[in-house]
Structure 1
């Protein structure tokens, strides 16, 4: 084989090695989620996990009212889906680490140092977003909606429709709470400046309410409870990014070498 043939095959070998690396990282991430799923399925069990998820809705229903299942296999499949969702959330640090490990070889050393803070902060903020949605938003919104229900109607939500609603809201609030991380990364990588982010603050506020109107149910309460944290977290990201960019940079070696000490004069 000639040198030209070797040069032609090098990009192909590199591409295949990247595909193998991607497959390995995906398998590890899926294995972590499945391992957590098996543990949760055994204890505390899929039914108990769904009962915990349904508590905010059940608390807003009239006394003695339960949720319904219209499908034949819905009572089995919905708790399984909820358990899988819980397994993914618990295994999220492993999933994020595998994603970072795949892209890390192409990054500089100072960019690799962001790995641990990025994974920890992203996971914590996503979980905080879900917790805020479960403990604050659900209880407030469900109670708000229940007050408008006519006395002649007995609400009995379907468990599959409730799961779809819950997953949409969890993802919306989880992603919303990632805004500070996104802002800091944009500034840290030099794609935007803090001054530029401050100048588009008005557009961000308008966009936050538009996103909230699209993602959340058509009631003012839930829309406001998504848009307000998004705006506040955007401001938090700007503050943290400003503190990071104000750190003094070290003196370059060539400048330090040109400095004249008193003993040399």
Structure 2
């Protein structure tokens, strides 16, 4: 009788050992990429600040109000970049850990969702950098008083940009979240479509909370949220559409 608890305890220990190993692999991947990028830390920050510095008035530049900011701002940016670049490998480690416990149909659904979520997150960051930042910084640098010189602190700028990167990266996951809700049976596509007006209002509320208090940045976040929600509905109708034969069978049974 004493052998049963030992047999149950052994798989738990082996799972914990595997989890620790995969976490170590993930941390090691982040560290390796960080060390490779750290030499280019200042160049990375120059690239990140280009949407703002290109719009600054002549004779002005970014400043560092803290004596440690010239080192820690590029350091923080390089660490965040290393985490973002290693995210596919980290998600692969997570997938390798949970995959043995999934059914075959769950694996077939999870793999494309996992890959598309990575692509959508990166797409959200690219959208923020190439579309939102030029419009946003162009607005902010043009509305200030003429006698006020615009000299942004590098740490404040980095925190602001990373916040928007994270917000847009998460927002671009809306199609995946919509498809998962419909696939799980929590809601139906028709039910979500009927609440479209409420979704639009929620999109603008979220845009107001996650962006600076101006209508431009709020709209630049809210409108993509709504369009991505519509994309999730469309993909759900295509991917989870029941064959005609099964629909007729269900109607005849009822």
Q: Do both proteins adopt the same fold according to a TM-score greater than 0.5, normalized to the shorter chain?
A: yes
Count residues in correspondence: 247
Match of 2:210 in 1: 215
What is the rounded CA distance, in whole Å, between the counterparts of 1:207 and 1:98 in structure 2? Answer: 34
Out of 234-243 and 15-24, give the one that drifted further.
15-24
Match of 1:103 in 2: 98
Aligned pairs (5 A) from 1:1-265: 3=1, 5-42=2-39, 45-248=40-243
What is the rounded CA distance, in whole Å, between the counterparts of 1:129 and 1:152 in structure 2? Answer: 36
Listed one character per residue, the Cα deviations across residues 139-173 of structure 1 (whole Å, up to 9, x for unaligned) are 10111111210001001111111111011000000
What is the rounded CA distance, in whole Å, between the counterparts of 1:213 and 1:24 in structure 2? Answer: 41
Structure 2 unaligned spans of 5+: 250-254
What is the rounded CA distance, in whole Å, between the counterparts of 2:25 and 2:191 in structure 1? Answer: 39
What is the rounded CA distance, in whole Å, between the counterparts of 2:230 and 2:188 in structure 1? Answer: 14
* TM-score of the two chains, using structure 1 as the length reference: 0.87
What is the rounded CA distance, in whole Å, between the counterparts of 1:52 and 1:37 in structure 2? Answer: 17
Q: Against the structure 1 CA distance between its residues 250 and 16, is the aligned structure 2 distance closer, same or farther, given a 3 Å change threshold? A: farther
* Contact kept? 1:100, 1:115, Cα under 8 Å: no
Mark the structure with the bigger radius of gyration: 1
Please give the secondary structure, in 2, of the residue aligned with 1:234. helix
What is the rounded CA distance, in whole Å, between the counterparts of 1:226 and 1:190 in structure 2? Answer: 28
Structure 1 unaligned spans of 5+: 256-265
What is the rounded CA distance, in whole Å, between the counterparts of 2:110 and 2:4 in structure 1? Answer: 33
* TM-score of the two chains, using structure 2 as the length reference: 0.91
